[in-house]
Amino acid sequence: MPLNIAILASGSGSNAQAMIDKAAAGVLDVNICCIVCNRPGAGVIERARKAGVTCVVLDHKEFADRESFDLAVVQTLQDHGAQLIVLAGYMRILSTAFLEAFSGRVINIHPALLPSFPGVHGGADACEYGVKISGCTVHFVEEKMDSGPVIIQAAVPVNPGEEVDDLMQRIHAMEHRIYPQAIQWFAQNRISVWGREVHVAPGTASTVTPDGPWLVWPPLEQGF
C-alpha cells in the first residue's frame, strides 16, 4: 500500500510540486492525501487544484493562539489518514501538541547544511558568511528549530562572486531531488533512527552517478 503523506506549505509550493510530479510518474510510492496551507492565496493552492490533490486552507490568523491552530491542523491530518507529515516551505514553528500527535513522523527540508546556518535565512546566511560549500538538508522535526536528526544532505559549491539568488536556485534544484528520495525511503520502510543517527537500509535500486558539481549522501537512487 502506498504511504499516505500530507504536505504542509505556506508559499509557492515548488517542493510540493516535485512530490506531486514524482508520485504522478510512479517513482514515489505515496498517496498525497492532502495539502494543508495556512496562507489564503498561496501558490501551492493552485498547484494542488491542478493536480487534483485535496487542499485544506486554514488561516492561522483566525485562531486564538498557536496551539489551537495546530490542533485544528492535527485534526485535519488525522481525518485524511496522514501517516507522514512533510513540511514544504511551511513558515510555522510546530507546537508540542502537534509533534506529540505525529511523533517521529514529521520531516522538513532546510536550504543549508545543518547544523550550520539554521533559521529562516539559512541559505543567505551561508552565502554572506563566505562558505565554499552550501546545500540542503532533510531532517526530522523537533521542538528546537532545524535541530532534528539528519536524513539526507546535498552539497553544492559556492561560486566566487555568486549572487544569493543564483546559489539558491541550484540548492532548490537539489531540494527537489533529495526530498522525494527521503520520502521514498519512508514509503519503503527503510529508515530507522538510533539516537541522532539516521540509518537507511539497503534497497534494490541502483544509485545515481552525479550529473553535475554536487554530492548527495546517502546516495540518490534511480528516479531521483
Distance from C-alpha of 169 to C-alpha of 183, rounded to nearest angstrom: 22
Q: Residue 40 is which amino acid?
A: P
Query: Which of these, 8, 128, 179, lies nearest to 80 by C-alpha position?
Result: 8
Distance from C-alpha of 171 to C-alpha of 115, rounded to nearest angstrom: 16
Q: What angle do CA 5, 6, 9 make, to 5 degrees?
A: 140
Distance from C-alpha of 199 to C-alpha of 205, rounded to nearest angstrom: 17
Q: Which residues, at least 6 apart from 100, have a Cβ–Cβ distance to it below 8 Å?
A: none
Q: Residue 89 is which amino acid?
A: G
Catalytic residue among 60, 80, 110, 121: 110
Contact, 134 vs 121, CB < 8 A? no
110 is catalytic: yes
Question: And the C-alpha cell for 49?
Answer: 487544484
Cis peptide bond upstream of 218, omega within 30: yes
Catalytic residue set: 110
